[in-house]
C-alpha cells in the first residue's frame, strides 16, 4: 500500500514543485528588472489544477469514480496532477526600454509565494506526522 501516493499528497507535492518553480521565475524577473526588452514570466499551476479537478463543471460536487482498469471510462476528476507551466507576458510594457517588470509587484508576489510554500510544506509535514501517529499508536 502506497500511503504517500494518494491524490491529496500528489496535489501537495505538485503545489510545492509549482511554488519552487515560481520562486525561480520571480527571482529571474527581479534580476532582470533593468534589462532592456526583458519580458516577465509567471507560473501557471492553480488554474490547471482547478481545471483538472473539474471545479468549473458538475464534477465539483464530489462525484468521481476510481479506475481499477485503464479501459474504464473516467468519472469526474481524473486524479492526475498537472505540471506547472512557465508563461511569458509579451503583451505589456512598463518602461521605455520595453521591459515589463514591476519590481514592487514582483517583490509582493515573491513574499506571497514564500507564504504559500511554507503552508504547503507544513501541510505535508502534518500529513506525514498523522501517518506516523497512526502507525505508532501514540499521541
pTM listed for this prediction: 0.72
For the segment 32-62, what is each residue's pLDDT rounded down to a tens digit?
Answer: 999 999 999 999 888 887 777 765 444 445 5
Work out the percent of the chain whose per-residue pLDDT is above 90.
40
Residue 108 three-state SS: helix
Amino acid at each position: 500500500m502506497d500511503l504517500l501516493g494518494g491524490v491529496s499528497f500528489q496535489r501537495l507535492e505538485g503545489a510545492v514543485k509549482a511554488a519552487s518553480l515560481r520562486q525561480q521565475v520571480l527571482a529571474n524577473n527581479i534580476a532582470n528588472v533593468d534589462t532592456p526588452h526583458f519580458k516577465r514570466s509567471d507560473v501557471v499551476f492553480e488554474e490547471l489544477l482547478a481545471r483538472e479537478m473539474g471545479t468549473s463543471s458538475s464534477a465539483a460536487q464530489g462525484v468521481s469514480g476510481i479506475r481499477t482498469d485503464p479501459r474504464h471510462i473516467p468519472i469526474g476528476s481524473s486524479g492526475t496532477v498537472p505540471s506547472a507551466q512557465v508563461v511569458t507576458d509579451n503583451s505589456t510594457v512598463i518602461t521605455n526600454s520595453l521591459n515589463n517588470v514591476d519590481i514592487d509587484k514582483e517583490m509582493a508576489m515573491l513574499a506571497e509565494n514564500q507564504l504559500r510554500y511554507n503552508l504547503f510544506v507544513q501541510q505535508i509535514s502534518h500529513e506525514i506526522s498523522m501517518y506516523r501517529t497512526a502507525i505508532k499508536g501514540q499521541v
